[in-house]
Structure 1
């Protein structure tokens, strides 16, 4: 999301004088501990947005966890089947 906004802003307002310097000042404001810039942005914009959509985010994470568990199970079963076939082939090649 941040890259989309950055690309759009670079494309639309990069022609303005001092745009690069203003962008650098914004990064310093967000980064420097004495300005609490990142805290202001989080408290003012991100926290209310996340709180508003918290139920949807939690539901999506639970769905993602279930899908990852199912995918891991299927991959482990496939690997076990391949290992079993390889083991049987190896056992046939060993002279008794």
Structure 2
């Protein structure tokens, strides 16, 4: 039951409400709200990445999902300002230290991704051409062998 309740809470309180509040911040052009919600989304994205792996190893712990519900509410709360606290205390300093390395990895990944896409595309076209040619040869062989008068 707890995993389903957590999934519902994460959807409503972790995603839908913050998405609507972000929309309101964009619509009203309130820069303070922009910053607040950007910090939230960055922390929440990191939380989801960590959660993906932690669930596999520690989801068996008692009250694991209940703790995650409280954590999502803590991140969101305007009283605790959990996401702002985590962003300023941990995320920003770590990203600032590693920003150049991360940018370089993204550039390398995009270059490799493009070359991989080109390579796979050419393989796909070659494969499709071979299949088409084999099919055409098979059909023409059947027509010749059975002396079918299709035209």
Q: How does 1:48-67 map to 2 (within 5 A)?
A: 48-67=93-112
- Higher RCO (CA 8 Å, separation ≥ 6 residues): 2
* Structure 2 Cα separation of the partners of residues 79 and 25 of structure 1: 49
* Structure 2 Cα separation of the partners of residues 25 and 86 of structure 1: 56
Q: 2:125 aligns with which of 77, 80, 84?
A: 80
* Normalised TM-score (structure 1): 0.68
Aligned pair count reads: 88
* Structure 2 Cα separation of the partners of residues 81 and 5 of structure 1: 42
* CA pair 2-87 structure 1, distance change in 2 beyond 3 A: closer
Cross-structure match for 2:50: 2
* Normalised TM-score (structure 2): 0.46
* Structure 1 Cα separation of the partners of residues 80 and 126 of structure 2: 58
What is the CA deviation profile of residues 22-76 of structure 1, one whole-angstrom value per residue up to 9, with x for unaligned ones? x465443223244321111102210111011100000000111111112111111
SS at match of 2:119: helix
